[in-house]
Chains A and B, each alone.
Chain A
Amino acid sequence: MSVTAPLPRLPLPKDRMQHLERLTQDLDSASLWWLSGYAAGLACKLAPAPDALEMRTAAEPTTRLTIVYGSQTGNAKRVATQLARQAEAAGLSVRLLGTDAYPIRELATERLLYLVISTQGDGDPPDDARGFIDFLAGRRAPKLDALSFAVLGLGDSSYPQFCVIGRKLDARLAELGAKRLLGFAEADIDVETVAGPWAQDALVRARERLEVLAPANNVTPLRRHVEATAWSAARPFKAEVLANQRITAEGSRKDVRHLEIDLSGSGLEYEPGDALGVVPRNPEPLVDAVLHALHLDGEAAVTHADATHPLREWLTSKRELTRLGRPLVAALAKRRGDAAVKTLLHPENGEALRRVLETQQPIDLLQRHASEWTGEALVAALRPPAPRLYSIASSRASVDDEAHLTVAHVEYATETGTRWGAASHWLATRAEGDTVEVYLERNERFRLPADPDRDIIMIGPGTGIAPFRAFVQQRAAIGARGRNWLLFGNPHFRSDFLYQVEWQAALKNGSLHRLDLAFSRDQSEKTYVQHKLREHGRDVYAWLENGAHLYVCGATTMARDVEKALRDVIVQAGARDAEAADEYIVALRDERRYARDVY
């Protein structure tokens, strides 16, 4: 869009202003964007800018739109950022903040608030939204009669607790007296489908409420802008697979792969802690099985949302075929299928539904509840495909343009055949030289301490080890003097000790200072990382007191047990009561010394 708007009155002196006006006259938007980035670049040199869009304008609440996002893997942030940019381009005064950065006391005076928030874990909030939510839920929450709001929830309907966090916030804001501008919206893994239209409506409503101002004097530095529009799930980079090596021994129940992917030419500059998004293709045998089960012709052209492709293509690359979602369950229920499916959707059957969503794939249901399907109906009932994220297990400082991944191959048997996880199977079956479609998913909340002298404690059982391989590589490369402590666990020492020789070498050459291992099935009583954490509680506490940063990566359930253990450790070693321990943990999180990357 081209903006011919008067330039901001503030904060430039008149003479400079005139120069600027002359300079910017009838420049096209690209040039203006570039110029803005250039200026931002200059500004950064003088004073490191906060995320340039995360601004606090002088504008009065009455004249200002506040957009707050709670985001774990960046989707909500992306949606919110786009909305903010559009609002701003439309001349509205906007401020964009993460839930953790939002000055919660200002809520009482807030007039217009849009909230974009995802649901994590098992109906948990994103880590950075905990404080925000606790405050709202609590008794200290103010009356909000003056506030107008709208909430967009992000979620994944394959989880029973679909978008619950967004829904709860929406309800709570209304309960506190705020006025709902838009009904609560739920975005599934095909985020844009719902988020796009919602943002448009939201923009219209905001316009109605706020007098149009000059475009804000904050703009996006070009770097960020370009990156925002660089490789994405929609426009992935075609990367070559350099290596695909199983790193669990024969006889292990797990098939874990180490993949090396060539990013050269992509301009993707990841940092330790970031994840790589992978756009998979569904397993061919699965597509065949679906076609066969429903007696459908893969070559038949199918039109959906004014796109037309052969059905096989829809099912292979344009639909989610391994993660079961509500839409399909609902579609099945509508058909004169058996009552079992129908009852699943009753709220009181949440548990049953959860079990189905967690353990069944679409094919399982389609095979069991045979009924007439058209290609169109099927495509409509299936969700658009969602990319999968994989923590990057390498540091560019030591592997240049490569990105390494540690992927657990999801593969299991059912009575009606083998089932696979779409992305992990896609990756596990890529040969050297094949290409995979990837993009970069930044994770600013999972970063090494800026101060290389800080100690770090890394808890990463199973594939949770991945980002810590990157961390240790990075800290070695920059000669960080802080100590690195890794806690790892898996079923068996002999077959499942991921990157064993690398850790042994790291211990020898001093790039890893401490390694504690929990191999759960090597002895009668199972031991996990949380047991090790308790066992070494005094040391853990001492490290934390000494300023150490604590990182947890891996399965959601593990992260929960680890946090319980951490609480106990702080209670015992720190001689605190439970409440104080919680505060201690919250403080760690606020200081960004406790970061989790769970899935």
Chain B
Amino acid sequence: MSEPSDLERIKRASRHLRGTLRESLAEPVTGALHADDVQLLKFHGAYQQDDRDVREARRLARLEPDYSFFLRLRLPGGVMSPAQWLAMDAMAQRYGARGLRLTTRQTIQVHGIRKVDLRAAAQAIHACGLDTIAACGDDNRNVVAAVNPLLSRVHAQIFEQAQALSLHLRPQSRAWHETWLDEPPTDGNEPEPLLGDAYLPRKFKIGFAVPPDNDVDVYSQDVGLVTIIENGALSGYDVLVGGGMGATHGNAGTYPRLASPIGFITPDQVVALAEAALTLQRDHGDRSDRAHARFKYTVDDRGLGWTKAEIERRTGFALQPSRDFAFTQRGDRFGWREGGDGRWHLGLRIPFGRVHDSEGIARQTGMREIAALLAELAPDAQIRLTPNQNAFVAGVPANLRERVDAMAGAHDLALHRAGSRLALNTIACVALPTCGLAMAESERWMPAFLPKLQALLDKHGVCNEPIDLRISGCPNGCSRPYLAEVALVGKAPGRYNLMLGGDHRGQRMNALYRENITEPDILDVLDELLARFATEREAGERFGDFMARTGVVTPPLPREAAA
């Protein structure tokens, strides 16, 4: 294998992720960190960014870029207590900008934190029993788990496993505590038994799905675990490996990939399985080319058979044959539902995950009031974040339903009552102005773009058609666009690749239909296709399926099938 990437040097030299972070944070002349620390910071769940809207103006003004940071929680399964929500809300108000941002991996990002406030912000997180360890970086990322509220008991089990796994695979280094809390600094030679001194070659993602819901997009995970429920009880998981979205424009060696099934395991085997897959990737992943370092490429380079065998060798047990399961949907179930335990769950649409008071919209206030109410009267209730950037208020006692409902209604949190399916299901990544990799707008563009697209749906009489639309500001695919029925992938300011033909269950990838087109062209193209769809579709046929069936595009076959 060729030269290790520079990041490998940085990781190895970092004394288990300490680097010179404390010095960087204390440096008063700049709002940024030393270059190497910028990389290490990710392992601590934070990212250095700058406001790209003002980059040029500041360059001319002889000012450095407007640096700020986001902190991302490690929040397995997206579950937090009302009290923790309040703590995060307060932290965001005090130190952040643009409120709380619910992510596509069921957690919260707070953007716009200044270097000087970073420690205080992290301490606020720690104070409410949370952390940000490994929320970013070359490690095991936030473990996602289905939010399905109807199966309270199973959900509880899945959640426990997700949480245990997240803790077990977390870096053992005390760097986080020494950097952000007041734990005295050490030389950092504690063991890192699982991840090793160089940590992983790249990010690593694990997700638990609970059929019939595929809200976690289990086929996009490095390791996907599909819950198999037999006569009402959890019997185990089908294992999928090698999923991932990220690609790079113009680099054919990079591609999104559907995770491939390799067998079935029982609940007690989850940790061993995850450990085996993770250490396999640790030992065999590509450490020279970061664009080729994800688990999915290891799987393809070595072959699925080898991968499965190697996993079994490491676990010391054989995987059982895959069981059957079927996904019917992946969107969130908004509105009120009663759980198995008689508690009530309210699914709230949070457009593009942004919980922020602005332009007359008071979602942050609304969520704060709801959380405050529950913290006082039902502390065991939960706020559950979904992989679609939405939020559930879970475990609400019947007697509080009315009040919670009223609060939601009063604060733009009851979109499910009015909003069209398009407005409820669309996912857009953060992109500009904070994302350093964004090539085009995403989240900020939606309020202007969606009504135009909705107008086309109305025009063709399919106004409430549930079309999964996902927008990413670049091909990294943070909104998992390649699994959408319609996707827009940013290529340049105002220009996108239009992808079509994915399926709404997240089992078939879409394909490129038009390259590098602008909003007017996007609307023209969709206008024409929706016209055909409205007239030629089969009964109940979804738009993505129609695109594939009528050959408008030819979606790629899953790797294992293609091979």
Query: Given A494-B31, A504-B30: A246 and B61 within 8 A (CB)?
Result: yes
**Cross-interface CB contact of B29 among A246, A517, A522, cutoff 8 Å:** A517
* Interface membership of B229, Cβ < 8 A: no
Those of A513-562 within 8 Å (CB) of chain B: 515, 517, 522
* Interface membership of A502, Cβ < 8 A: yes
**Pairwise interchain contact A247-B62, C-beta atoms closer than 8 A:** yes
* Interface membership of A507, Cβ < 8 A: yes
**Pairwise interchain contact A494-B66, C-beta atoms closer than 8 A:** yes
**Pairwise interchain contact A245-B61, C-beta atoms closer than 8 A:** yes
Query: Nearest-CB distance from B28 to chain A (Å)?
Result: 6
Question: Using Cβ atoms and an 8 Å threshold, which residues of chain B touch A495?
Answer: 63
**Cross-interface CB contact of B62 among A258, A493, A494, cutoff 8 Å:** A258
Select from chain A the residue with minimum beta-carbon distance to B28: A517
**Cross-interface CB contact of B60 among A245, A500, A502, A503, cutoff 8 Å:** A245
Query: Nearest-CB distance from A93 to chain B (Å)?
Result: 54
* Interface membership of B54, Cβ < 8 A: yes
Interface majority SS (helix, strand, loop, mixed), chain B: loop
Those of B107-156 within 8 Å (CB) of chain A: 114, 116
Select from chain B the residue with minimum beta-carbon distance to A497: B63
> What 9 pairs between A and B have smallest CB-CB spacing?
A247-B61, A500-B63, A501-B62, A499-B62, A247-B62, A500-B64, A517-B28, A501-B64, A249-B63
Q: How far is the CA of A20 from the CA of B526 in the complex (A)?
A: 100
Candidate in A246, A497, A498 with the most chain B CB atoms within 10 angstroms? A497
* Interface membership of B57, Cβ < 8 A: yes
* Interface membership of A322, Cβ < 8 A: no
* Interface membership of B58, Cβ < 8 A: yes
Question: Using Cβ atoms and an 8 Å threshold, which residues of chain B touch A517?
Answer: 28-29
Apart from A245-B62, A249-B54, A500-B29: 16 A-B pairs, beta carbons within 8 A: A245-B60, A245-B61, A247-B61, A247-B63, A249-B57, A249-B61, A249-B66, A250-B57, A258-B62, A494-B66, A499-B62, A500-B63, A500-B64, A501-B62, A504-B29, A522-B116
Question: Using Cβ atoms and an 8 Å threshold, which residues of chain A touch B28?
Answer: 517
Those of B503-544 within 8 Å (CB) of chain A: none
Q: How many A-B residue pairs have CB under 8 A?
A: 42
Interface majority SS (helix, strand, loop, mixed), chain A: mixed
Query: Nearest-CB distance from B31 to chain A (Å)?
Result: 7
Question: Using Cβ atoms and an 8 Å threshold, which residues of chain A touch B116?
Answer: 522
Select from chain B the residue with minimum beta-carbon distance to A495: B63
**Pairwise interchain contact B61-A503, C-beta atoms closer than 8 A:** no
* Interface membership of A391, Cβ < 8 A: no
**Pairwise interchain contact B58-A249, C-beta atoms closer than 8 A:** yes
Chain B 54-98 near chain A by CB (<8 Å), digits 1 or 0 = 100110111110100000000000000000000000000000000
15 contacts between A and B (CB under 8 A): A245-B62, A246-B61, A247-B61, A247-B62, A248-B61, A249-B61, A250-B54, A258-B62, A494-B31, A501-B62, A501-B63, A503-B29, A507-B29, A517-B28, A522-B116
Candidate in B30, B62, B116 with the most chain A CB atoms within 10 angstroms? B62
Question: Using Cβ atoms and an 8 Å threshold, which residues of chain A touch B63?
Answer: 247, 249, 495, 497, 500-501
Select from chain A the residue with minimum beta-carbon distance to B63: A500
Question: Using Cβ atoms and an 8 Å threshold, which residues of chain B touch A247?
Answer: 61-63
**Pairwise interchain contact B61-A504, C-beta atoms closer than 8 A:** no
Select from chain B the residue with minimum beta-carbon distance to A519: B28
**Pairwise interchain contact B31-A493, C-beta atoms closer than 8 A:** yes
Candidate in A500, A507, A522 with the most chain B CB atoms within 10 angstroms? A500
Q: How far is the CA of A115 from the CA of B116 in the complex (A)?
A: 55
Those of A236-258 within 8 Å (CB) of chain B: 245-250, 258
Q: How far is the CA of A245 from the CA of B60 in the complex (A)?
A: 7
Interface residues of A (CB under 8 A from B): 245-250, 258, 493-495, 497-504, 507, 515, 517, 522
Q: How far is the CA of A151 from the CA of B58 in the complex (A)?
A: 52
Candidate in A258, A501, A503, A517 with the most chain B CB atoms within 10 angstroms? A501
For B, the interface residue count at a CB cutoff of 8 angstroms equals: 15
Question: Using Cβ atoms and an 8 Å threshold, which residues of chain A touch B58?
Answer: 249
Question: Using Cβ atoms and an 8 Å threshold, which residues of chain B touch A249?
Answer: 54, 57-58, 61, 63, 66
Q: How far is the CA of A155 from the CA of B116 in the complex (A)?
A: 46
Q: How far is the CA of A216 from the CA of B54 in the complex (A)?
A: 65
**Pairwise interchain contact A502-B62, C-beta atoms closer than 8 A:** yes
**Pairwise interchain contact B62-A515, C-beta atoms closer than 8 A:** no
Select from chain A the residue with minimum beta-carbon distance to B60: A245
Question: Using Cβ atoms and an 8 Å threshold, which residues of chain A touch B114?
Answer: 494
Query: Nearest-CB distance from B58 to chain A (Å)?
Result: 6
Select from chain B the residue with minimum beta-carbon distance to A522: B116
Q: How far is the CA of A499 from the CA of B30 in the complex (A)?
A: 12
**Pairwise interchain contact A500-B62, C-beta atoms closer than 8 A:** yes
Question: Using Cβ atoms and an 8 Å threshold, which residues of chain A touch B57?
Answer: 249-250
Q: How far is the CA of A499 from the CA of B58 in the complex (A)?
A: 11
Q: How far is the CA of A448 from the CA of B376 in the complex (A)?
A: 67
Select from chain A the residue with minimum beta-carbon distance to B57: A250
Question: Using Cβ atoms and an 8 Å threshold, which residues of chain B touch A502?
Answer: 62
Those of B23-65 within 8 Å (CB) of chain A: 28-31, 54, 57-58, 60-64
Query: Nearest-CB distance from A397 to chain B (Å)?
Result: 20
Select from chain A the residue with minimum beta-carbon distance to B59: A501
Question: Using Cβ atoms and an 8 Å threshold, which residues of chain B touch A501?
Answer: 62-64
Those of B139-187 within 8 Å (CB) of chain A: none
Query: Nearest-CB distance from B66 to chain A (Å)?
Result: 7
**Pairwise interchain contact B66-A515, C-beta atoms closer than 8 A:** no
Q: How far is the CA of A497 from the CA of B114 in the complex (A)?
A: 15
Query: Nearest-CB distance from A500 to chain B (Å)?
Result: 5
Question: Using Cβ atoms and an 8 Å threshold, which residues of chain A touch B62?
Answer: 245, 247, 258, 498-502
Candidate in B29, B30, B58 with the most chain A CB atoms within 10 angstroms? B29
Select from chain B the residue with minimum beta-carbon distance to A507: B29
Q: How far is the CA of A498 from the CA of B116 in the complex (A)?
A: 19
Q: How far is the CA of A247 from the CA of B60 in the complex (A)?
A: 8
Chain B 268-285 near chain A by CB (<8 Å), digits 1 or 0 = 000000000000000000
Query: Nearest-CB distance from B50 to chain A (Å)?
Result: 11
Query: Nearest-CB distance from B258 to chain A (Å)?
Result: 45
Query: Nearest-CB distance from A263 to chain B (Å)?
Result: 21
Question: Using Cβ atoms and an 8 Å threshold, which residues of chain B touch A248?
Answer: 61
Q: How far is the CA of A381 from the CA of B114 in the complex (A)?
A: 54
Select from chain B the residue with minimum beta-carbon distance to A256: B61
Question: Using Cβ atoms and an 8 Å threshold, which residues of chain A touch B66?
Answer: 249, 494
Q: How far is the CA of A500 from the CA of B29 in the complex (A)?
A: 8
Those of B1-33 within 8 Å (CB) of chain A: 28-31
Q: How far is the CA of A497 from the CA of B66 in the complex (A)?
A: 12
**Pairwise interchain contact A515-B29, C-beta atoms closer than 8 A:** yes
Question: Using Cβ atoms and an 8 Å threshold, which residues of chain A touch B31?
Answer: 493-494
Query: Given A493-B31, A494-B31, A517-B28: A504 and B60 within 8 A (CB)?
Result: no
Query: Nearest-CB distance from A420 to chain B (Å)?
Result: 21
Q: How far is the CA of A251 from the CA of B57 in the complex (A)?
A: 12
Q: How far is the CA of A99 from the CA of B500 in the complex (A)?
A: 86
Query: Nearest-CB distance from B151 to chain A (Å)?
Result: 49
Query: Nearest-CB distance from B56 to chain A (Å)?
Result: 12
Q: How far is the CA of A236 from the CA of B203 in the complex (A)?
A: 66
Select from chain A the residue with minimum beta-carbon distance to B61: A247
Query: Nearest-CB distance from B485 to chain A (Å)?
Result: 41
Query: Nearest-CB distance from B59 to chain A (Å)?
Result: 8
